[in-house]
Chains A and B, each alone.
Chain A
């Protein structure tokens, strides 16, 4: 069992995860963000590997990626940063990014390094499911990494069941048909979608992302799902705040959470 699976064993509801782009706002921001998140009681983190052409992302994550690449961030540097934190942090980490940089790094080499750096799982949104099953699944298993797949309101029940079958940590519930950071609030369609998911009795926890930015969206996600992921809103705070600790604090305020 990896750290992420362990977390879901022990905490079943109201989970909160943050996404940030590695190398943003500064090349060496990674350690500070991880430490601040852990201290603030965030349940787990998604570390975004910046990519030049992030198709599924809105302007906030695009800009953070462009800046991170300009800052010199690479997968190699990210692994070095994470290695130095190993043993010093306990917050579960996932790596999230597009497939091409992973292919160029070398798929197995990447997975081996990710696991050695303490990552619990990978989110590669443009990895096709059939290719995962044929070429990647054994590698994920070998390195004890959890694959995380996305579902949207347009994903068929049949496909959701297949994804549930292949997953062993959680399912990433994209709240609506949209790029990241797009929604203002969750309407009736989202609520119905959440209800539909609930009624399917899936074995994996459901964590909602895309559009979590205030108390209302967080509470709606928590009421209907097992947890929420906050990305674009966190990146905005990181850009504005003097340090990561303050950014997490400001975000928690926006989300209507207690700040110590």
Chain B
């Protein structure tokens, strides 16, 4: 396992999956932050590469990924899906990570960085609660007090995760401002950080925020594509698939699943966005499809906004994708054609969750179901190798699934 960039085979690939020193992927990224945040962000920026490439960090990180997170996660050949869709379909089982999603990869890494920087408290934002649970988990392990900001709307629809965070000893702060979802949970976490700058580490859950967060989270999640490469070689004798499918809200699991294949002409990288009730319904979170360039949470990227530059509220049945922006890496991959992004509606995702449950005996998270839904939007050749990043498991969404399938 490595988080170093010099393992990439060519200079071309290297330039597309990591930003320049100011945090820009092409036109997107950067650090648009008020002065109150500058010293903290600068402290992280000037230290993160050195820390994550150090032998000490890598030793601790790799050990925790193996024995605590449960890595490597299997690359499972999904025979029944393969038969249905006429391709060789593999599921990268991030849902089997401890706490039930890929989120833990980045949390373990960032919590180790926080310790290294001597921080005494960790704060995090959460949408679906997966990042909050992951943060609460690692903070319990490393004995760091943890505060999680969560929109009050999300607290209602993701109760099981709220209970888990509390059981793990984290403080959950209900955010009542604005949309009462992930966007405003992020605002409140940032405000808390402004008010507690000395000893607090802000553990961002996705490839969003000011530089260096998008790059830091992408590097920590890149273990996903690194394992896919090794596993495919073993299982198929190939080092890259024909397709990688992943859902993208902020875009961390997609960044991790794409990372080592970015710029590889052999592989089509496909991100799926939550279209909510439809991309043109006004109730959507499909940022690439309906967003325009601007600034959200400290970075330049695509976001859903009014012509006056006010950030719009996103809409998705999935709390983890209910975000009006997307990580700058994805905005760049879209702009350069290095990845494609497909909108998937609430209904399509719910149906895909049902389909996967029945076909393979795996209940996916609602977020993940958006990636699964892409199967029926693509045309494969029989020998195509398709890897779906199965980013999370569906226990937290059972209530939503039940409500939906009762209605129809």
A–B pairs, 12, beta carbons within 8 Å: A53-B183, A55-B187, A56-B34, A74-B308, A76-B308, A100-B311, A101-B309, A103-B309, A126-B33, A128-B32, A128-B33, A152-B36
- Taken residue by residue from 93 to 112, chain A's Cβ proximity to chain B (1 for < 8 Å, 0 otherwise) reads as 00000111111110000000
Give the CA-CA distance A179 to B298 in the complex, in Å. 16
| 308-345 of chain B: CB within 8 A of chain A | 308-311
Residues in A whose Cβ lies below 8 Å from that of B183: 53
B178 within 8 A of A: yes
With A101-B310, A126-B33 as contacts: A178 and B178 at CB distance below 8 Å: no
- Most chain A Cβ neighbours within 10 Å, of B187, B190, B309: B309
Give the CA-CA distance A69 to B312 in the complex, in Å. 12
Residues in B whose Cβ lies below 8 Å from that of A151: 35
Give the CA-CA distance A130 to B24 in the complex, in Å. 13
Q: Do the beta carbons of B36 and A100 come within 8 Å of each other? A: no
| Total cross-chain contacts (CB, 8 A) | 103
| 140-175 of chain A: CB within 8 A of chain B | 149-152, 154-156, 159, 174
Q: Do the beta carbons of B39 and A179 come within 8 Å of each other? A: no
Tell me how far the C-beta of B26 lies from the nearest C-beta in chain A, rounded to whole angstroms. Answer: 16
B177 within 8 A of A: yes
Give the CA-CA distance A161 to B115 in the complex, in Å. 32
Q: Give which listed residue, A55, A103, A125, A128, contacts B191 with CB less than 8 A.
A: A55
Residues in A whose Cβ lies below 8 Å from that of B194: 55-56, 177-179
Residues in A whose Cβ lies below 8 Å from that of B294: 100, 103-104
Q: Do the beta carbons of B195 and A179 come within 8 Å of each other? A: yes
Tell me how far the C-beta of A133 lies from the nearest C-beta in chain B, rounded to whole angstroms. Answer: 13
Q: Do the beta carbons of B309 and A105 come within 8 Å of each other? A: yes
Q: Do the beta carbons of A99 and B295 come within 8 Å of each other? A: yes
Tell me how far the C-beta of B49 lies from the nearest C-beta in chain A, rounded to whole angstroms. Answer: 19
A6 within 8 A of B: no
With A103-B295, A179-B195 as contacts: A52 and B178 at CB distance below 8 Å: yes
Q: Do the beta carbons of B298 and A126 come within 8 Å of each other? A: yes
Q: Do the beta carbons of A104 and B32 come within 8 Å of each other? A: no
B197 within 8 A of A: yes
Q: Give which listed residue, A57, A69, A76, A177, contacts B310 with CB less than 8 A.
A: A69
| 28-55 of chain B: CB within 8 A of chain A | 30-36, 38-39
Residues in B whose Cβ lies below 8 Å from that of A239: none
Q: Give which listed residue, B31, B36, B292, B310, contacts A52 with CB less than 8 A.
A: B310
Q: Do the beta carbons of B36 and A104 come within 8 Å of each other? A: no
B206 within 8 A of A: no
Tell me how far the C-beta of A63 lies from the nearest C-beta in chain B, rounded to whole angstroms. Answer: 9
Q: Do the beta carbons of B34 and A58 come within 8 Å of each other? A: no
The closest CB in chain B to the CB of A182 belongs to B195
B237 within 8 A of A: no
- Most chain B Cβ neighbours within 10 Å, of A101, A174, A178: A101
Q: Do the beta carbons of A62 and B177 come within 8 Å of each other? A: yes
Number of interface residues of B (CB under 8 A): 33
Tell me how far the C-beta of A206 lies from the nearest C-beta in chain B, rounded to whole angstroms. Answer: 14
Q: Do the beta carbons of A126 and B310 come within 8 Å of each other? A: no
Q: Give which listed residue, B197, B198, B309, contacts A104 with CB less than 8 A.
A: B309
| Chain A interface residues (CB < 8 Å from chain B) | 51-53, 55-59, 62, 66, 69, 74-76, 98-105, 125-128, 130-131, 149-152, 154-156, 159, 174, 177-179, 182
The closest CB in chain A to the CB of B32 belongs to A126
Q: Do the beta carbons of B191 and A155 come within 8 Å of each other? A: no
B203 within 8 A of A: no
Q: Do the beta carbons of B195 and A177 come within 8 Å of each other? A: yes
| 186-212 of chain B: CB within 8 A of chain A | 187, 190-191, 194-198
Q: Give which listed residue, A58, A102, A126, A179, contacts B309 with CB less than 8 A.
A: A102
Listed from nearest, the 5 A-B pairs whose CB atoms lie closest are A104-B309, A101-B309, A125-B34, A52-B310, A56-B34
Q: Do the beta carbons of A55 and B39 come within 8 Å of each other? A: no
Q: Do the beta carbons of A53 and B309 come within 8 Å of each other? A: no
Tell me how far the C-beta of A51 lies from the nearest C-beta in chain B, rounded to whole angstroms. Answer: 7
| 375-406 of chain B: CB within 8 A of chain A | none
Q: Do the beta carbons of B35 and A55 come within 8 Å of each other? A: no
With A53-B183, A53-B187 as contacts: A154 and B31 at CB distance below 8 Å: no
Residues in B whose Cβ lies below 8 Å from that of A99: 32, 295
With A52-B178, A53-B178 as contacts: A174 and B36 at CB distance below 8 Å: yes
Given A51-B310, A155-B35, A178-B195, 5 further pairs, Cβ under 8 A? A51-B309, A53-B311, A59-B177, A74-B308, A154-B197
Q: Do the beta carbons of A100 and B296 come within 8 Å of each other? A: yes
B252 within 8 A of A: no
Give the CA-CA distance A179 to B198 in the complex, in Å. 15
Residues in A whose Cβ lies below 8 Å from that of B187: 53, 55
Residues in A whose Cβ lies below 8 Å from that of B178: 52-53, 66
B272 within 8 A of A: no
Give the CA-CA distance A62 to B37 in the complex, in Å. 18
Residues in B whose Cβ lies below 8 Å from that of A128: 30-33
B143 within 8 A of A: no
B361 within 8 A of A: no
Residues in A whose Cβ lies below 8 Å from that of B308: 74-76, 101, 104-105
Residues in A whose Cβ lies below 8 Å from that of B198: 177
Q: Do the beta carbons of B35 and A177 come within 8 Å of each other? A: no
Give the CA-CA distance A151 to B38 in the complex, in Å. 10
Give the CA-CA distance A128 to B299 in the complex, in Å. 11
Tell me how far the C-beta of A202 lies from the nearest C-beta in chain B, rounded to whole angstroms. Answer: 15
B22 within 8 A of A: yes
Residues in A whose Cβ lies below 8 Å from that of B31: 128
Q: Do the beta carbons of B310 and A56 come within 8 Å of each other? A: no
Residues in B whose Cβ lies below 8 Å from that of A52: 178, 310-311
Give the CA-CA distance A214 to B308 in the complex, in Å. 35
